[in-house]
Every structure is written in structure tokens, then in C-alpha cells.
Amino acid sequence: MMSPDIAKKLRHLKFFTVCHPMYNEAMKVLQRAAEASSIGGEDTAAALFGPSGSGKTRLCNDLMHQFSQAHKGKKPDGSYFIKPVLYCRVPSEATVKALTNRLLETMNVQMGRQSQEYLEYQLFQTLKSCDTKLLVLDELPHLLRGLTDKAVKSAGDWLKNLIDLFDGTLLITGEPDSESYIDERACVGDRFPYRAYLKPFSISSAEDRNDFERLIRAFAIEIDCQMNLTKAPCLVSEHEILALYALTNGNIRRLARLLYEACKLALERGDGTFKIDDFSLAAKQANFLSRLTKADVFTASLKDLQNIVFNNDNKRS
């Protein structure tokens, strides 16, 4: 059983955010969309595109925390519930009707079997009564994949109406290829002028490498400050930078998972040390998709790591 002290330290690390340049630029785009909608601007919907593990969910969470928390309020006709932020993850193979129902259920509105027209009316009324200012539809393109042309048109019309009638900021997220689904219909694509992009880190150029190194350094400083480990490896040496990249392929979710698992091993050992062996063992215990080699990167030579990393990065470029 994990001790409360260890659990507290690991929980802190799990929610630690590094505001790297790519994150900062994406956040600025989403904040501009929120500012535009707050003054009644038209076509202020925002979209965030990026592959799995690039930080979309973390960015959405950080944006949502900039809004007020849900609370009870009061209107002349009685008390009501204020929900400034509404988050909904769109299930795969979703339909417009199923998604509309899910949104209503998220606001504790149970409608049962009703027509789509009535469900939409109730959704818009509930968003208004709850004073919702940010609506996040995570993986919205699930709604548009694999549908007939007629169903895609219907989904597009629903989305267009949602943007036009919702008095707040609509934010959708999706994989990079999902941008084409939004742009298939000009009347939908034109309503998303604010678009932010995230991608895996690269070290193919000096600037990219510096960004990745700053990311690792930020995590290393946080670990040093929070974990109370008296001895730790230098994670920003050339060897360790290349090893971390070779294992994670620049994917920030995989990097965060590796650091979490390695810290957990070090803390549970209880001798106050943090070793490279902790990283090797963590890499064996967790599945790291798209790793650049099956070898133990933390015991590989610097020359081997250079060959593994730079040959792959050149191919990707």
C-alpha cells in the first residue's frame, strides 16, 4: 500500500504542467477566442488539433480552470445551478442525438425519449440558464467519421447551429487529420477562425532541441524540489536527453508517465536516491509505443543513441 506522503508527491507530479513555447502559443489562441466571444463577436469557435499524448487534455483542463467553478445561484424565479464550463468527451461512433442527450445529462437534465428538435431546444435553454461560457467537445470529429453524406451534413448543421446559438466559446479537440472533417463544409470551417496545434517534440534543429531540453529541465527541477531525494541523475546531460527522447519519441504524455513511474520506484525504495536504474526498470514495466529502439536506452552508449535518434529524426523530417 502506497504511503500518503508518497501518494501526495506523485499526485503533485502527475498534475505538473510545463508551459513550453508550443503550449504557450496554443493557450494564447484559445484565450483570444474566449475574449472574442465575451464581447459578443461572431464566429469565435476554437479548435485544438494534435496527436494523442501531445497535451490537448492538459491544455483544455488549464483553460477550464481559468473560468469560475460551478456553483448555486439565484434568479427572480428561483434558485438555479451555474455551470460556467461544460466538458464532454464525444464517444466513438456517436450520433447527433446521442451527443445532445449526453450534454444534457452532463448538466443533470434527463430528457428520456424526445425528438431531436426538442432536445436541441432544451440544450440551448439549459446552456443559457446555467450561464455556460465555455463548452469543450473533446474528440468531436468522432461525430463525423464513418457517417453517410446525409448524416455528416446533419451533424454539420447541428454544429453550425450550436456555434450560432451558444452565447460562449465552443472549443473542439481532435487528431491532426480531423481538421479536414471540419473544413469539408465551408459554413462549418469558417466558424472556427481560432485554431491551435500541438505536436510531439523534435530535436532535429537546435531550436527544437533547446525546447525539449527546457522541458526536461523543468521536470527535473520540479522533481528535485518536491521529491526530497538526496541523490539524482542529471537528466539534461546529452546522454540522458537522447535516452529520454529515444524512449518517448517526443511524446509528452509518455515522458510524464516515465518520470512518474521512475519517481515512484525511487520513493518506494526509501533510501533517498534516484537512479538511472529506476528509469530502465520503469521503461520495462510500462508500454512505450513508438519508442525508437527496443534496447535499454539508459545503458546504451552515447554514440548508439545519437545514431538511433538522429537517423529517425532525419527520416521524420
Tell me: the pLDDT tens digits for 270-300? 999 999 999 999 999 888 888 999 999 999 9
Q: Across the strands, what pairs with 86?
A: 135
pLDDT bracket for residue 147 (50, 70, 90): low
Task: For residue 299, report the phi and psi dihedrals to the nearest 5 degrees.
Answer: -110, -5
Nearest to 47 by CA among 194, 189, 187: 194
**The residue type at 142:** H
Q: Write down the pLDDT at residue 113.
A: 79
Tell me: the pLDDT tens digits for 60-109? 999 999 998 888 877 666 667 889 999 999 887 778 888 999 999 988 88
Taking the model in full, what pTM does it have?
0.89
The answer to whether the beta carbons of residues 232 and 263 sit under 8 Å apart is no
Topology (CATH level 3) of domain 21-197: Rossmann fold (3.40.50)
Residue range 201-316 forms a domain whose CATH class is mainly alpha
Q: What mean pLDDT is reported for the chain?
A: 89
* Cα gap 288→254, rounded to integer Å: 7
- Element of type H or E holding 99: helix 96-106
| Domain boundaries, given as residue ranges, for the chain | 21-197, 201-316
- What b/e string do you get for 206-230 counting C-beta neighbours within 10 Å, with b at 16 or more? eeebebbbebbeebbebbeeebebe
- What contacts 73, CB < 8 A, 6 or more positions away? 79, 80, 81, 82, 131
The percent of residues above 90 in pLDDT, for the chain, comes to 64
